[in-house]
């Protein structure tokens, strides 16, 4: 999929249901997982202790933090052109629903599909945009690893 024609703040309502397609793969390797653990203070062994995770963990090795996969969504939105370039301001408004459906083993690449599911006028040229974000292990079919509804406030 591609960015729709006439993708402007003034006609965001016309793009409800538009599927922006799938992002390029993002590799969640051990150094990235370790950096995320350092930034967040979440050093749980299932994420950062390779040897222990291999020997004692339920997944045969370390896995990415669910919040790491979630934190990649805004970058995917920019990559796929989800928000109109004529917006004067864009603010991450949060998430309404997040589900981690499967582990992401260290070294895996994920891709994320994005669809605009709602646009609500908030007056004064501002719109609350809802997107459905579904992440999969790259090359895999079937069950997603993450499904999240993200909200962004877009201003003309």
34 occurs within a structural domain: no
Can you tell me the distance from the alpha carbon of 60 to that of 49, in angstroms, rounded to the nearest whole number?
12
CATH of the domain at 98: 3.10.129.10
- Give yes or no for residue 141 having a pLDDT over 80: no
Region label for 54, one of left (φ > 0), alpha (ψ between -120 and 50) or beta (otherwise): alpha
Instruction: Report if residue 35 sits inside a domain.
Output: no
Residue 65 lies inside a defined structural domain of this protein: no
Mean residue pLDDT across the chain: 95
CA-angle at 39, arms to 67 and 59, nearest 5° = 45
Question: What is the share, in percent, of the chain residues with pLDDT greater than 70?
Answer: 99
For residue 1, what pLDDT is reported?
67
pLDDT at 2 over 90: no
**Banded model confidence at residue 138, pLDDT cuts 50, 70, 90:** confident
Question: Does residue 140 surpass a pLDDT of 90?
Answer: no
The confidence score (pLDDT) of residue 4 equals 79
Confirm whether 140 is domain-assigned. Answer: yes
How many beta carbons lie within 10 A of that of residue 25, not counting itself? 15
pLDDT greater than 80 at residue 45: yes
Q: Residue 80 pLDDT > 70, yes or no? A: yes
Residue 105: which domain range?
9-27+72-155
Number of domains comprising the chain: 1
d(CA 65, CA 34): 10
Task: Give 6-42 pLDDT, tens digit per residue.
Answer: 889 989 999 999 999 999 999 999 999 999 999 999 9
Q: Which two tokens stand for residue 52?
A: 């222990």
* 59 occurs within a structural domain: no
């Amino acid at each position: 999929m591609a960015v729709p024609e006439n993708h402007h703040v003034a006609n965001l309502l016309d793009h409800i249901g538009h599927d922006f397609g799938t992002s390029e793969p993002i590799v969640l390797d051990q150094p990235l997982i370790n950096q995320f653990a350092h930034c967040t203070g979440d050093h749980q062994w299932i994420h950062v202790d390779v040897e222990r995770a291999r020997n004692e963990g339920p997944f045969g090795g370390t896995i990415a933090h669910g919040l790491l996969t979630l934190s990649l969504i805004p970058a995917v939105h920019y990559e796929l052109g989800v928000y109109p370039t004529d917006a004067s301001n864009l603010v991450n408004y949060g998430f309404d629903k997040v589900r981690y459906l499967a582990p992401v083993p260290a070294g895996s690449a994920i891709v994320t599909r994005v669809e605009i599911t709602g646009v609500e006028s908030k007056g004064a040229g501002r719109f609350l945009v809802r997107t459905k974000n579904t992440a999969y292990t790259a090359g895999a079919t079937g069950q997603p690893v993450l499904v999240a509804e993200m909200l962004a406030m877009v201003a003309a």
